[in-house]
Amino acid sequence: MNDLHGKTAVITGAASGIGKAMAQRFATAGMTVVACDVEEPALAACVADLEELGGEVVGVNLDVADADAVDAMATQAIERFGAVHVVCNNAGVGGRGLTAGPGELQLEDWQWVMGVNFWGVVNGHRSFLPHMLANGEGHIVNTASMAGHLPSHSAYGASKWAVVGITEGLHNSLAGSGVGVSCLCPGWVNTQIGEADRNRPEWAAGNALDEPSTASEAGMAFIREQLASGMDPSDVADLVHDAVVNENFWIFTDMAMVSSLQPRFDHVLAASNPTPTSLFKR
C-alpha cells in the first residue's frame, strides 16, 4: 500500500484522539475518509475539520458493537467509493473498566467494554475482509494497547489482549493475500480514553451510583495524569500511516514499555509463577 492517494480509509472512533488524528493523516495523504463515531457532536466537528483539508469525507454515526450497523456502513462505503483500502478498527472505551478490581466490575462493564473494544474489531473484520480479499488489496489496522501485553483482571485489559491475539492471528492467516495487517499498541497518549463513560449507553449503566473504591479512584487519577502528559495523537497517526505504507505489523509508541515485558516472557519460558505487575503502577 505504498500509494494511498485517491484511495479510501474507514476509521472508527474517529471523532477524537488517535482516531481523529489518523483521519487527518490519511486525508492529508490524499485519501477519501469515512469517519465513524458514536459521539455525534464530536463527529460533526471532526468532519468539518477534515473538509477544511480539502479531501472528501463522510461522517457516519456508528456503534461498532452493532454488527448490522457496521455491515450497513461497509456496504454503503463500498457502493459509494467502489473500494475500501484501509480499515482502522480504532473505537475503544475504558471508563471504570480500566481500573475496577476483581469483584468490582459489573456484568454491564464487561459487556460494554468487550462489545466496543473486541466485537467492534471483529465486526470490522467481518464486514470488510471479504471485499479486500476479493480485490487482493487492503490493510487492516487494529488498535490494541500496551495493556494487551500486561496482565490485568479488567474488562479493558481482557479486550486488548483479545485484540492483540486475533490481530496477530489474522496477520498469519492473510500472508500472501495482498491484505496487510497492523496492530497498534500505544502506551500513554493524550486522549480522552479515561473519560469514555461519557458515551456509556443507558443499558450499560449498571449500578452507577456505587462509590468507586479508593484503589480504583487512585488508579483513575494516575491514568489521567499519564494521559495528559502522553504522546500527541498526531505522532501516533504518523506511525500508523508509515506502518500501512511499509506493511509493518507492530506499531509501538513506547519502546521502554515494550522492553518492560521481558520479565514476563522469562517467567513464561521458565514456567515459573509470574511476578505481579501493572501498566498503571507508579
Show which residues are catalytic. Answer: 156
The neighbour count for residue 123, using CB atoms within 10 Å, is 26
Q: How many helices and strands, by DSSP H and E, does the chain display?
A: 10, 7
Contacts of 209 (CB under 8 A, 6+ apart): none
**Separation of alpha carbons 228 and 64, rounded Å:** 26
Terminal Cα-to-Cα distance of the chain (whole angstroms): 40
Dig out the grid coordinates for 255 from the structure: 519502546
Name the grid cell of 133. 480479499
Rounded Cα distance between 274 and 149, Å, is 13
